Structure 1
Amino acid sequence: MKKFFSILLAATVLAAPMAQAQSRHDDRPGNRTMERSVTTKKVIIKKHRWDRGQRLSAAERRHVIDRRDYRRHSLREPGRGQRWVRVDNQYLLINVANGIIIGLSGAR
């Protein structure tokens, strides 16, 4: 009898942690709720409004249209010392010497 109770006591002591360690099956995919949030960022690109008499910087004057290519863009022939430049999807007729805008034309 004493041997029986000692075996029963040992089995109870060994079985108790295993009973507590059992999972409750909460990790099933059907029981989980996932929330997804999408964050959108609004990007605003400010474009410069060009007018006659303004000066273009040297960096903006580098976008020169080929001398023979102005007809392809439906632009008039530039005069002596003038050049067509494309900036911000606009064609600007500038003076080569100082970069002052002489004329404007929208891109087509």
Structure 2
Amino acid sequence: MFKKLIQATVAASLMATPMIAGAAEAQRREVTTTTVKHRPNGTVVQKTTVRRAPTYRTWRQGQRFDRRYAQNYRVVDYRQYRRAKLYAPGRGQQWVRSGRDAVLISGNGNILRVISRVF
């Protein structure tokens, strides 16, 4: 009985951990500002919530590419950057720009190659 209780407690804590981490991450992305407006008939307080842009990532080979986290994202024509060691992508692949890096992604979104400081 005691062993089952411990197993249930461990299972519950493992299930709750991602939810707690997700709530903390969402809280970091939101900033609440309070603005006070004065009018002739009294003071009015208005609260607004401003969401921050997602943080940019440093890409690594084998990761899943998500363009929401890419700074200055755009598809790149490799012929214009041959001096920067960009080569013709294979079928279903494309070069994209993320900040100053060139990232080769496959059709399913996996990162095949990252070349730093191309742009």
TM range (shorter): 0.3 to 0.5
Structure of greater relative contact order (alpha carbons < 8 Å, 6+ residues apart): 1
After TM superposition, the score normalised by the length of structure 2 is: 0.42
Q: Structure 1 or 2: larger strand share?
A: 2
Q: Structure 1 or 2: larger helix share?
A: 2
After TM superposition, the score normalised by the length of structure 1 is: 0.46
Larger radius of gyration: 1
